[in-house]
Amino acid sequence: MKRIAVFTSGGDAPGMNACVRAVVRTAVYHGIEVYGIMRGFSGMIKGEFVRLDSASVANTIQKGGTILKSARSQKFLTKEGRQQAFDQLVNNGIEGLVAIGGNGTFTGASLFEQEFGIPTVGAPGTIDNDLYGTDYTIGYDTAVNTALEAIDKIRDTADSHDRCFFVEVMGRDSGYIAMPCAIGGGAEIVMIPETQMSTEAVIESLKSSWRRSKTSFIVVVAEGEEEGNAHTVAQRVKEAIPELDTRVTIIGHIQRGGAPSAADRLLASQIGIAAVEGLLNGMRNVMAGIVDRKLVYTPFTDTINKKKLINQSFMRMVEILSV
């Protein structure tokens, strides 16, 4: 293999640049030409290829976002679009791909490989930490710490005014951000998609604490919670407990930005190296990840279809520590 390309796709995550850097420098180390594909699958279709070398990725390990940009591509969902992408790769002599992204990215990459045979190794880049086949995803640690910093500040004002704050964090299908934020932020309650915490249970818990003369509360809500978003839950609670002074804070996309933590830089570097060396060793249609501190390669089919379970004992931790 003489020439590969790397791209980032889906939502950006802190540490993506560190991963791109590792991919580029590993390719250079092994004497392989490496190109960056701008704007993910969309740029692949349009032929937006940029030759990269060690200097191209200098001073990027500490930067948030992605220097390769990211974009959604409806056209890649069509056979015609994927054919155009394949033609662009062939015209540019690309023999293998490193795809940095999440579930949607790997779904597209898997289908693309099946149809056209371009070997692809994935790097898990998503703040949600919801990918099967790795203990942690690139960007997750930074996102948790960003949200936790905000919750610490919200706790100060909640305590000062005897208020109940409903804090919504990211996690469309996963409570992996919400759970550590709840434990680390001293929240009284956490609501995540993986559990059956009803609004009625939240109301009863808050009433019980209120009767014990507790006057300020933090309720962490994952955006994908089945009971509704933070505004919906807060409104129902206010109707049931009128005397409770409620507020809602949605932390939002701030969780995606900022300089990656030390843990994310290390993880991104490990996985970037593993992705390139996986390609060189004949790997294809797999994601590189770290499980129990060991490098593993998980087939895209497992990464896409298997559910990564959250530790249910964490719910008990929140209950015990909120007394």
Catalytic residue, candidates 128, 130, 141, 264: 128
DSSP 164: E
Query: Rounded to whole angstroms, how far apart are CA atoms 258 and 250?
Result: 17
Burial bucket for residue 52 (CB in 10 Å: 0-12, 13-18, 19+): buried
Q: Is 113 annotated as a binding residue?
A: no
Q: Is 254 annotated as a binding residue?
A: yes
DSSP 95: -
Q: Is 25 annotated as a binding residue?
A: yes
Q: Is 24 annotated as a binding residue?
A: yes
Burial bucket for residue 114 (CB in 10 Å: 0-12, 13-18, 19+): exposed
Amino acid identity of 5?
A
Q: Is 30 annotated as a binding residue?
A: no
Query: Rounded to whole angstroms, how far apart are CA atoms 103 and 304?
Result: 6
Q: Is 256 annotated as a binding residue?
A: yes
Q: Is 73 annotated as a binding residue?
A: yes
Q: Is 3 annotated as a binding residue?
A: no
DSSP string, 166-209: EEEE--SS--TTHHHHHHHTT-SEEE-TTS---HHHHHHHHHHH
DSSP string, 30-55: TT-EEEEETTHHHHHHHT-EEEE-GG
Q: How far is CA 129 from CA 73, 88, 219, in A?
A: 23, 32, 21
Q: Is 23 annotated as a binding residue?
A: yes
128 as an active site residue: the answer is: yes
Q: Is 128 annotated as a binding residue?
A: yes
Q: Is 188 annotated as a binding residue?
A: yes
Q: Is 272 annotated as a binding residue?
A: no
Question: Looking at the annotation, which residues are catalytic?
Answer: 128
Annotated binding site for ATP: 11, 72-73, 102-105
Binding-site residues for substrate, please?
126-128, 163, 170-172, 223, 247, 253-256
Tell me the binding residues: 11, 21-25, 72-73, 102-105, 126-128, 155, 163, 170-172, 186-188, 212, 214-216, 223, 247, 253-256
Binding residues for ADP are 21-25, 155, 186-188, 212, 214-216
Binding-site residue positions for Mg(2+): 103
